[in-house]
Structure 1
Amino acid sequence: MSNRNYLRQLALGFFLIFTALNLSASVFPSKPIKIIVPFSPGGGSDVITRLLAEKMAGDLGVSVLVENKPGASSIIGTDVMAKSAPDGYTILMTNRAITVNPWLFKLPYDTAKLTPVMQLVGSPLLLVSSTKAPFKNLNELITYAKAYPGKVSIGNSGVGQLPHLAAVLFEKSSGVELTMVNYKGSGSSTTDLIGGQIDLSFGTVPSFMQQIKNKTLIPLGVSSTTRNPALPSVPSISEVLPGYDLISWFGFFAPPSTPKPIVDKLYQSISRALASPDLKARLNDEGLDVTALDPEKFKKVFAADLIFWQKFIKDNNIKIE
């Protein structure tokens, strides 16, 4: 084959690929979209996703289904999405823990190759205590924990999950020694916290909001540097421990190599859903701050978080036993 013919066929090949991608994007979506949530029903990610799915379905004109695939620190659900066709019909809604897992587990997918679609919201974690604990605020907690090293127990949803990492950061910032109690999920830890079997726990604001309203748990502090509008009387931990700052985020991802036109259509639909006044008000009531980062900005945040957690986990010798 002559060089001229080779170049002509190569150009034709690129043209056909480009045309196919634009055609698929122009007719997208033409069938139901599935959003995978890699956590159990009822958690923060699940609540947000179900609110969005209804809005997206009306906007896109197709069903938008939510499927919970919990397990293995969100790896099971993420793996299903990562190995799906890069056509926009299977996407993932997850939280910042997706940038932690590569440094703790041997994963069946390459996290860095996933396609960021949109960062939806940011949310501080909330430190809550049992009503049976011998302290009622942050200063009392720190004083008590220093007087009785290791006596204060703090539950989490698993080693390496954000509540666990927030607890590690709290120990480092305050100089106290806590007893970590690791659970397989947040449901069991919350039950034990209400029952007084453990003293403390970190979690998202939405996951504890009902217990706070029912006065079965006591909110001690939020992990952002400012107070949360949904809980204005609850101090930020940084008011007592300057510099303490740990924000969770929730965002959408698509499989590796998902074409940009499809990513853009998903982003635009989610943006329109987030712009809905009733949805925005509901998210704010849950203590969530709408960030709505576009794919390019979210990609930068995603890459920076991968670097941050790699160092944090190495520096604190955090390992899955």
Structure 2
Amino acid sequence: MHRRIVIALMLVCTLGLFATGVAENEENAYPQKPITMIVPYGAGGTTDISGRQLAIQLEKHLGKSITVINQGGASGSIGARTVLDAKSDGYTVLFTAESLGTQRVMGLSEMSYDDFVPIMVAVNDPKVIVVHKDSPYQTLEDLVNDIKNRPGKVKMSYTGPGGSGHVQALIYNKMGLDMALTAYPGGADCIVAVLGKQVEFTNSNYSTVTGYLESGDLKLLGISALQRLAAHPEVPTLSEILVGSEKYLDNPFTPLSLLVKADVPASVVDALRSAAKKAVQEQGWKDFVAANSLDKLYEKYPDEDSMRSFYAEWESLVSWLLYDNGAAKISPEKFGIKKLDY
């Protein structure tokens, strides 16, 4: 009898410990509170629009609200630093464009993709060339020819040194074209500059100009890529006009990524990745991607190894392009960025 009592007590204790462990796991399961998503650029740009749409879908699978905060400045480095300075608990995440790959060589910060863990390389928002509805340029050839005929005179708005618009300008330069560049805080501001006729054109992201194209306030002249957009098959690509630009245009200029700081627990990273994979299967997200002709990078780079390889190749191409053209202050060699053969 005594032995039975001892065994029963042991079973009760074991079950109690098991139940306690389950309760603790449930209590500590991520997430337990709302999440903050930092977008390190101004409101209304491609990163902001895409980040907010992804946040809507993520909430469905994380079960907690996500507050999107715009924190622009210094080519994204201010917002990125906010995430790195936050607690390593996964409750502050970063949804950023490509600037993490250029901040070091541009002398803006010492941060890079290596300081973060990628949750998802989400999408690439195609770069397009737009002008005012009353612009004298009717075709992409008209614009290119005017730049050739008036070097340094045709005005182009962009988001500042090291940004995707700046990289576009350097590709123009390599093709023998020279524009007058005017920097603005964000992509939306660059569009306003075109609408206000402060500049002749801009290299915008497609998602940020669709409304203006539909209203007729902007004209779409070209696509900065190798392939034409399905939504505008009549509009030529820049590679069709600028011979020799192909090796540069076969590149996603605005890859948008969801990241957390590098020392966030693996369990949190796993939870976020699982939710992100489910989020991009939501019909709302699919409709958003289709409507804005976004490239589904999450299908090309589905795991951490492929994401990190993508970042390394992207960083090499763009960093060396900036440095070789005198746009970057610091050699990529200092950071161990190899110059790949393209």
State the TM bucket, normalised to the shorter chain: 0.7 to 0.9
1:89 pairs with 87, 91, 97, which one?
91
2:136 pairs with 134, 137, 142, which one?
134
1:300 aligns with 2:300: no
| 2:286 counterpart letter in structure 1 | K
Q: C-alpha displacement at 1:144, in angstroms? A: 2.0
1:254 pairs with 260, 275, 283, which one?
260
Query: Aligned partners of 1:25 and 1:176: how far apart in 2?
Result: 60
Ranges in structure 1 where 5+ consecutive residues have no aligned partner: 1-18
Q: C-alpha displacement at 1:25, in angstroms? A: 11
Query: Aligned partners of 2:291 and 2:27: how far apart in 1?
Result: 35
Tell me the alpha carbon deviations over residues 22-42 of structure 1, each in whole angstroms, 9 at most, x when there is no partner: 969971111111111111122
1:310 pairs with 299, 319, 323, which one?
319
Query: Aligned partners of 1:94 and 1:24: how far apart in 2?
Result: 31
Query: Aligned partners of 1:193 and 1:283: how far apart in 2?
Result: 25
Q: C-alpha displacement at 1:160, in angstroms? A: 1.6
Q: C-alpha displacement at 1:303, in angstroms? A: 2.1
Q: C-alpha displacement at 1:183, in angstroms? A: 2.0
Q: C-alpha displacement at 1:143, in angstroms? A: 1.9
Query: Aligned partners of 2:273 and 2:95: how far apart in 1?
Result: 13
1:289 pairs with 282, 295, 305, which one?
295
Q: How does 1:37-52 map to 2 (within 5 A)?
A: 37-52=39-54
Equivalent position of 1:121 in the other structure:
123
Equivalent position of 2:238 in the other structure:
237
> Partner of 1:150: helix, strand, or coil?
coil
> Partner of 1:225: helix, strand, or coil?
coil
1:278 pairs with 266, 270, 284, which one?
284
Which has the higher mean CA deviation after the structures are superposed, 265-274 or 128-137?
A: 128-137
Q: How does 1:136-175 map to 2 (within 5 A)?
A: 136-173=138-175, 175=176
> Partner of 2:178: helix, strand, or coil?
coil
1:214 aligns with 2:220: no
Check whether the contact 2:77–2:108 (CA below 8 A) recurs between aligned residues: no
> Partner of 1:103: helix, strand, or coil?
coil
> Partner of 1:212: helix, strand, or coil?
helix
Q: C-alpha displacement at 1:215, in angstroms? A: 1.4
> Partner of 1:268: helix, strand, or coil?
helix
Query: Aligned partners of 2:326 and 2:266: how far apart in 1?
Result: 38
Check whether the contact 1:150–1:178 (CA below 8 A) recurs between aligned residues: yes
Percent of aligned positions that are identical: 26
Check whether the contact 2:106–2:161 (CA below 8 A) recurs between aligned residues: no
Q: TM-score, normalised by structure 2?
A: 0.81
| 1:152 counterpart letter in structure 2 | V
Equivalent position of 1:203 in the other structure:
204
1:75 pairs with 74, 77, 82, which one?
77
User: How has the CA–CA distance of structure 1 residues 172 and 91 changed in structure 2, closer, same or farther, with 3 Å as cutoff?
Assistant: same
* CA RMSD, 1 decimal: 2.2
Query: Aligned partners of 1:61 and 1:104: how far apart in 2?
Result: 39
Equivalent position of 1:12 in the other structure:
none
The aligned length equals: 299
Which has the higher mean CA deviation after the structures are superposed, 109-118 or 250-259?
A: 109-118
User: How has the CA–CA distance of structure 1 residues 230 and 87 changed in structure 2, closer, same or farther, with 3 Å as cutoff?
Assistant: farther
Ranges in structure 2 where 5+ consecutive residues have no aligned partner: 1-20, 330-342
Q: TM-score, normalised by structure 1?
A: 0.86
Check whether the contact 1:81–1:254 (CA below 8 A) recurs between aligned residues: yes
| 2:45 counterpart letter in structure 1 | G
> Partner of 2:135: helix, strand, or coil?
coil
| 1:303 counterpart letter in structure 2 | A
Which has the higher mean CA deviation after the structures are superposed, 205-214 or 254-263?
A: 254-263
Q: Who wins on radius of gyration, i.e. which is larger?
A: 2
User: How has the CA–CA distance of structure 1 residues 25 and 211 changed in structure 2, closer, same or farther, with 3 Å as cutoff?
Assistant: farther
Check whether the contact 2:222–2:237 (CA below 8 A) recurs between aligned residues: yes
User: How has the CA–CA distance of structure 1 residues 240 and 26 changed in structure 2, closer, same or farther, with 3 Å as cutoff?
Assistant: farther
User: How has the CA–CA distance of structure 1 residues 297 and 165 changed in structure 2, closer, same or farther, with 3 Å as cutoff?
Assistant: same
| 1:298 counterpart letter in structure 2 | M
User: How has the CA–CA distance of structure 1 residues 296 and 285 changed in structure 2, closer, same or farther, with 3 Å as cutoff?
Assistant: same
Tell me the alpha carbon deviations over residues 28-59 of structure 1, each in whole angstroms, 9 at most, x when there is no partner: 11111111111112211111122121221121
Query: Aligned partners of 1:267 and 1:134: how far apart in 2?
Result: 48
> Partner of 1:317: helix, strand, or coil?
coil
| 2:316 counterpart letter in structure 1 | I
Tell me the alpha carbon deviations over residues 276-297 of structure 1, each in whole angstroms, 9 at most, x when there is no partner: 1232122210121222133332
| 1:297 counterpart letter in structure 2 | S
Q: C-alpha displacement at 1:270, in angstroms? A: 1.0
Check whether the contact 2:167–2:318 (CA below 8 A) recurs between aligned residues: no
